[in-house]
């Protein structure tokens, strides 16, 4: 019974967070303030009153359209408001609510939601989202009962940061253009600070597998942009929900 009440509360919290993520996804790439002005239609600029801004419900009642001008509201708004609570509930079902690891992976996995969509739509990862992950990962690593200790966290972030810096520099020298964005470097460093040195290789394999599957399904032309941030963020969510380490070991070495 208590479990059910917690799940309902997490669903409400998750839907509200999803609604906030939609604001981030819309405004961060435009470099707009995320606080003011209040929610408004991107087409007719009319403000959206709170009773028309209820996560999921409002979208469905209005048929995915602005009440005033009829402009279509992109389907990802609804998707974000549905998957955010699902991720939160999934993390709750995997970890003990009172364990610091629950909070750690809830924050990490939820953090990936706006990053996934912003990178998928705009091929950028805002620094406002990527850089705070680095100190947050260190803070969680300082808790004695965390799954990754501070040394593992520090070494993983430092190694991945220097490695990606080198790759970015080599690419620039070879192609006379930027291939690896600064956003990717900060995001990976932040994820490394959460994951630690032992989990990181599995996560990179998982992200690469997702990338390969994506390429096999949606064959893209060579000059199309490739947003690796979407694959790494999807992998982080997946990892947080299931035991990624076990899964990859099974995939690579067989056995179930
Ligand atoms: Zn409108």
Tell me, what DSSP letter sits at residue 73?
A: P
Q: How far is the CA of 15 from the centre of ligand 1 (A)?
A: 22
Mean pLDDT confidence for 41-52: 88
Q: How far is the CA of 77 from the centre of ligand 1 (A)?
A: 15
Q: How far is the CA of 40 from the centre of ligand 1 (A)?
A: 8
Q: How far is the CA of 47 from the centre of ligand 1 (A)?
A: 9
Q: How far is the CA of 68 from the centre of ligand 1 (A)?
A: 5
- The half-sphere exposure of 197 on its side-chain side, counting CA atoms within 13 A, is 10
Q: How far is the CA of 71 from the centre of ligand 1 (A)?
A: 5
pLDDT at residue 243, as a whole number: 65
Whether the per-residue pLDDT at 180 is higher than 80: the answer is: no
Q: How far is the CA of 75 from the centre of ligand 1 (A)?
A: 15
Tell me, what DSSP letter sits at residue 38?
A: P
pLDDT in tens, 204-241: 888 888 888 888 877 666 555 667 889 999 999 999 99
More confident residue, 172 or 84: 84
The verdict on whether omega for the bond into residue 134 sits within 30 degrees of 0, i.e. cis, is no
Q: Are 204 and 164 in contact (CB under 8 A)?
A: no
Q: What angle (nearest 5°) sits at the alpha carbon of residue 19, between those of residues 111 and 24?
A: 55
Q: How far is the CA of 153 from the centre of ligand 1 (A)?
A: 46
Residue 213 CA to residue 208 CA, distance in Å, equals: 9
Tell me, what DSSP letter sits at residue 29?
A: G
Lowest mean pLDDT among 32-36, 102-106, 122-126, 130-134: 32-36
Q: What percent of the chain has pLDDT over 90?
A: 59
Q: Which residues lie across from 65 on neighbouring strands? A: 72
- Return the closest-CA partner of residue 108 out of 33, 196, 27: 196
pLDDT at residue 10, as a whole number: 96
Residue 73 CA to residue 55 CA, distance in Å, equals: 13
**Model confidence band, residue 256 (pLDDT cutoffs 50, 70, 90):** very low
Q: How far is the CA of 212 from the centre of ligand 1 (A)?
A: 39
Q: How far is the CA of 31 from the centre of ligand 1 (A)?
A: 21
For 54, the token pair is 């209820």
Q: How far is the CA of 58 from the centre of ligand 1 (A)?
A: 14
Q: Is the dihedral of CA 48, 88, 109, 74 positive or negative?
A: negative
| Tally of residues, the chain | 256
- Complete DSSP assignment for 199-211: HHHHHHHHHHHHH
Q: Is the dihedral of CA 187, 108, 207, 74 positive or negative?
A: negative
Q: Which residues lie across from 40 on neighbouring strands? A: 47
Lowest mean pLDDT among 44-48, 138-142, 191-195: 44-48
- Return the closest-CA partner of residue 229 out of 117, 140, 135: 117
Q: How far is the CA of 24 from the centre of ligand 1 (A)?
A: 19
Q: How far is the CA of 119 from the centre of ligand 1 (A)?
A: 25
Q: How far is the CA of 220 from the centre of ligand 1 (A)?
A: 34
For 1, the token pair is 């019974």
Q: How far is the CA of 59 from the centre of ligand 1 (A)?
A: 13
Give the pTM.
Answer: 0.89
User: Crossing angle, helix 182-217 and helix 100-122, to 10 degrees?
Assistant: 70
Q: How far is the CA of 197 from the centre of ligand 1 (A)?
A: 48
Q: Which residue has the tokens 């810096």?
A: 165
Residue 167 CA to residue 179 CA, distance in Å, equals: 9
Mean pLDDT confidence for 62-78: 92
Q: How far is the CA of 50 from the centre of ligand 1 (A)?
A: 15
């Amino acid at each position: 019974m208590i479990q059910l009440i917690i799940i309902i509360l997490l669903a409400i919290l998750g839907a509200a967070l999803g609604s906030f993520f939609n604001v981030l996804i819309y405004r961060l790439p435009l470099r707009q303030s995320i606080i003011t002005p209040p929610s408004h239609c991107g087409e007719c600029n009319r403000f959206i009153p709170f009773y028309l801004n209820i996560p999921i419900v409002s979208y469905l009642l209005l048929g995915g359209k602005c009440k005033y001008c009829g402009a279509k509201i992109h389907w990802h708004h609804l998707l974000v408001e549905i998957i955010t609570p699902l991720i939160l509930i999934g993390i709750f079902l995997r970890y003990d609510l009172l364990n610091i690891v629950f909070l750690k992976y809830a924050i990490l996995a939820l953090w990936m939601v706006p990053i996934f969509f912003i990178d998928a739509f705009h091929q950028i990862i805002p620094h406002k989202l990527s850089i705070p992950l680095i100190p947050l990962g260190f803070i969680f690593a300082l808790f004695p009962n965390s799954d990754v200790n501070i040394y593992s966290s520090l070494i993983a972030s430092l190694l991945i940061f220097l490695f990606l810096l080198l790759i970015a520099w080599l690419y620039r020298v070879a192609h006379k253009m930027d291939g690896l964005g600064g956003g990717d470097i900060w995001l990976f460093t932040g994820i490394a600070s959460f994951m630690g040195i032992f989990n990181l290789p599995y996560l990179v394999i998982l992200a690469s597998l997702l990338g390969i599957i994506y390429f096999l399904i949606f064959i893209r032309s060579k000059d199309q942009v490739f947003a690796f941030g979407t694959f790494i963020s999807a992998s982080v969510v997946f990892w947080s929900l299931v035991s990624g380490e076990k899964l990859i070991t099974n995939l690579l070495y067989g056995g179930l």
